[in-house]
Amino acid sequence: MSSTLPLPFFGGTCSKAAFSFSLKSSSPLVPFQRLQLFRSTSRTTTRIRSSLFHSLKAKATAELVQDKESGVVATGKPVVEHSRTFIEARSEQELLSGLRKEVDAGRLPPNVAAGMEEVYQNYRNAVFQSGDPAAVGVVLSNMTVAFDHWLLDVEDPFVFEPYHKALREPFDYYMFGQNYIRPLIDFRNSYVGNLSLFYEIEEKLKQGHNVVLISNHQTEADPIIISLLLEKTNPLIAENMIFVAGDRVITDPLCKPFSMGRNLLCVYSKKHMYDIPELAEMKRKANTRSLKEMALLLRGGSKIVWIAASGGRDRPDPFTEEWYPALFDSSSVDNMRRLIEHSGTPGHVYPLALLCYDIMPPPRQKKKLEKKELSPFMGLDYQ
């Protein structure tokens, strides 16, 4: 195994320049500024969204426990006839009125509908700020597909395996995510630093080597942002990168369709292992399975794995408001080192720096899911 910098990271100097993604705003009209809306939403809206996430997560986590304990993936269930309310919408009015129709029909829980409408309003405002003359059509097209797949997952929830391979057909979830986030990026003022290193990585992958990117983490859209900035120059990396993902993105119904389009190794964060004590053992077993999956993947070679070594998203300094990478968990870094060393295949570790928080800034305060917050549906807003 070769490493481009000494461990622990940020504790020494790099023998090679680190990658850097930087998403910048030069005008209040560019897409990046728009998602200041997520940061500056009113307290009332924040409470609604937080309540939705916390209530939704409980059910999904409980269902995962049942599936994992029984050793059976949720298959063989009766086929659910999918409503076409959203996919047939031809205007904003029809799309939003469809929420009430689905709630009244009992197909969509009211709290999920409220979350969907909030996402719609934020997304619309963000895209409109870009100044794109086609913004109305872009918003309607992307949100129609998003609403349809959120409803689809409520009707027939998708269950992720420890290693999830991106679903590209019959519906291409990868391109769905690309097309949804694309209008939120001002490509004219964004850049990829040290692009030559990505070409170097592509060559190593073609030679059968493994590559691990030890990265900071700023938004839930990081995997899609990385793919968007590399899709023209390095499509091999953009489409084949495997992301080590926490449980939120595979249980929150508003996140799941985007996650279904990425290659994921699903793990439970150590920071939240005991949020619900009775689920801790299940989480540990699930993480062991994911670790074994990763070991098998690396033995096959030609794999590129992204991991946020801090275990969560960056937060700004409370006094200076400056963003900086959260501290890395040394055990996570060491686990990746050992996995590469024991894979029997040449491996390389590279640092990756991301600066993209304007897209979807995380909440300023981290919140854990408490047992008392369990309710009939699931969701979460933490890290």
Reading the block at residue 62, the tokens are 């409980």
Q: Higher model confidence: residue 107 or residue 322?
A: 107
- Residue of 104, 148, 153, 156 marked active site: 156
Q: Find all residues with CB under 8 Å of 305, minimum gap 6, and list them.
A: 210, 211, 212, 213, 241, 242, 243, 244, 265, 294, 297, 298, 336
What is the helix (H) or strand (E) element at residue 244, kind and residue range?
Answer: strand 242-245
pLDDT of residue 239: 98
**pLDDT exceeds 50 at position 2:** no
Q: Rounded to an integer, what distance in angstroms lies between the CA atom of residue 52 and that of residue 376?
A: 11
Q: Rounded to an integer, what distance in angstroms lies between the CA atom of residue 332 and that of residue 217?
A: 14
Same fold, 92-156 and 176-359: no
Q: Higher model confidence: residue 196 or residue 331?
A: 196
Q: What is the mean pLDDT of residues 357-378?
A: 53
**pLDDT exceeds 80 at position 7:** no
CATH 3.40.1130.10 assigned to domain 176-359? The reply is yes
Query: Would you say 315 and 177 are in contact if contact means Cβ atoms under 8 Å apart?
Result: no
Q: Rounded to an integer, what distance in angstroms lies between the CA atom of residue 353 and that of residue 324?
A: 10
pLDDT of residue 93: 97
**pLDDT exceeds 90 at position 374:** no
| Partners of 190 in the β-ladder | 23
Reading the block at residue 221, the tokens are 């859209």
Question: With bands split at pLDDT 50, 70 and 90, how would you rate the model's confidence at 371?
Answer: very low
Query: Would you say 166 and 261 are in contact if contact means Cβ atoms under 8 Å apart?
Result: yes
pLDDT of residue 369: 44
In angstroms, the Cα distances linking 63 to 112, 230, 260 are 17, 36, 18
Q: Higher model confidence: residue 383 or residue 128?
A: 128
Report the chain's mean pLDDT, rounded to a whole number: 79
Residue ranges covered by each domain of the chain: 92-156, 176-359
Overall CATH class of domain 92-156: mainly alpha
pLDDT of residue 79: 59
Q: Rounded to an integer, what distance in angstroms lies between the CA atom of residue 360 and that of residue 356?
A: 8
pLDDT of residue 84: 94
In Å, how far from its chain's centre is CA 65? 21
Q: Which residue bears the tokens 């290193």? A: 197
Reading the block at residue 158, the tokens are 């998708």
Question: With bands split at pLDDT 50, 70 and 90, how would you rate the model's confidence at 246?
Answer: confident
Q: Higher model confidence: residue 125 or residue 268?
A: 125
Q: Is residue 156 annotated as part of the catalytic site, yes or no?
A: yes
pLDDT of residue 279: 84
pLDDT of residue 319: 87
For 135, counting Cβ atoms within 10 Å of its Cβ (0-12 exposed, 13-18 middle, 19+ buried), the class is middle
- Pick from 210, 207, 195: which is nearest to 240 by CA? 210
pLDDT of residue 324: 81
Q: Please, what sign has the CA dihedral across residues 52, 306, 291, 269?
A: negative
Question: With bands split at pLDDT 50, 70 and 90, how would you rate the model's confidence at 115?
Answer: very high
Task: Specify the 3-state DSSP secondary structure of 283.
Answer: helix
pLDDT of residue 364: 67
pLDDT tens, 53-102? 333 444 444 444 444 444 444 444 555 689 999 999 999 999 999 999 99
Q: Higher model confidence: residue 185 or residue 18?
A: 185
The model carries a pTM of 0.76
pLDDT of residue 298: 97
pLDDT of residue 119: 95
Reading the block at residue 239, the tokens are 């489409």
Backbone angles phi, psi at 228, to 5 degrees: -65, -40
Q: Find all residues with CB under 8 Å of 55, minimum gap 6, and list them.
A: 111, 373, 375, 376, 377, 378, 379
**pLDDT exceeds 60 at position 162:** yes
Q: Rounded to an integer, what distance in angstroms lies between the CA atom of residue 61 and that of residue 324?
A: 31
Q: Rounded to an integer, what distance in angstroms lies between the CA atom of residue 304 and that of residue 321?
A: 33
> Helices in the chain by DSSP H: which ranges?
31-34, 36-40, 43-70, 92-104, 110-128, 135-155, 173-181, 195-206, 222-230, 235-240, 248-251, 256-259, 280-300, 330-341
Q: Rounded to an integer, what distance in angstroms lies between the CA atom of residue 380 and that of residue 383?
A: 10
Task: Specify the 3-state DSSP secondary structure of 378.
Answer: strand
Q: Which of 64-68, 119-123, 352-356, 357-361 has the lowest mean pLDDT?
A: 64-68
Reading the block at residue 231, the tokens are 């899709």
pLDDT of residue 170: 96
